[in-house]
A and B are shown apart, each in its own frame.
Chain A
Amino acid sequence: DGGITQSPKYLFRKEGQNVTLSCEQNLNHDAMYWYRQDPGQGLRLIYYSQIVNDFQKGDIAEGYSVSREKKESFPLTVTSAQKNPTAFYLCASSPARGNQPQHFGDGTRLSIL
């Protein structure tokens, strides 16, 4: 059963702590994306990757980092430099660049302790 798996579903971060959100896909998609969703603001792109070992900053990359060591995996680290991390984080993938629809996981809700 192909899809995108995000974990954990809920995550709490203490002040000054880095946390890592997991995203795994078994759709054999080349491209993967991370979005942040806040109420009333839609989806904002954090980072994306078109190929293994390569990634680009999106519109709101400050305070976040990613890696793409395997095609299936695209973890997102929310660093202590991100001062307002409370949000719903969505991972997506697509077969190729640009015009292809993206398929989403069910998200991770990150909150500050």
Chain B
Amino acid sequence: QKEVEQDPGPLSVPEGAIVSLNCTYSNSAFQYFMWYRQYSRKGPELLMYTYSSGNKEDGRFTAQVDKSSKYISLFIRDSQPSDSATYLCAMTNYNTDKLIFGTGTRLQVFP
């Protein structure tokens, strides 16, 4: 079993829809959680960085962490065609040198 599981998609939604992207994990020691966006042939770009449980909002993006269920989500409101990309979750704890990444979910937003 992988430490981090992420549905690969593709997820195809119409413009303006609310998108929910999710990751589950098995290591209860994870405390820091990140979401990255990766456009084709580009490097991942950090979108959200959260610590422990709770919600964090930044514009149209909301990151949610539920440590009791070992489940994190990224919500995108009013989705735009420019949001079409692969979204990667990543997580770690304080005493490690590494981030553990999900395999990424490909999102397509059509006009």
Contacts and interface: CB of A to CB of B under 8 A. Distances in A.
A37 to B, nearest CB: 9
Tell me what chain B mostly uses at the interface: helix, strand, loop, or mixed.
loop
Nearest to A4: B43
Nearest to A97: B97
Tell me what chain A mostly uses at the interface: helix, strand, loop, or mixed.
strand
A88 B42 CA distance: 10
B88 A42 contact: yes
Contacts of B31: 99
Interface string A49-63: 010000010100000
B32 A42 contact: no
Given A103-B46, A104-B43, A43 B97 contact: no
Interface of A: 4, 6, 31, 40-43, 45, 48, 50, 56, 58, 88, 90, 92, 97-99, 101-107, 109
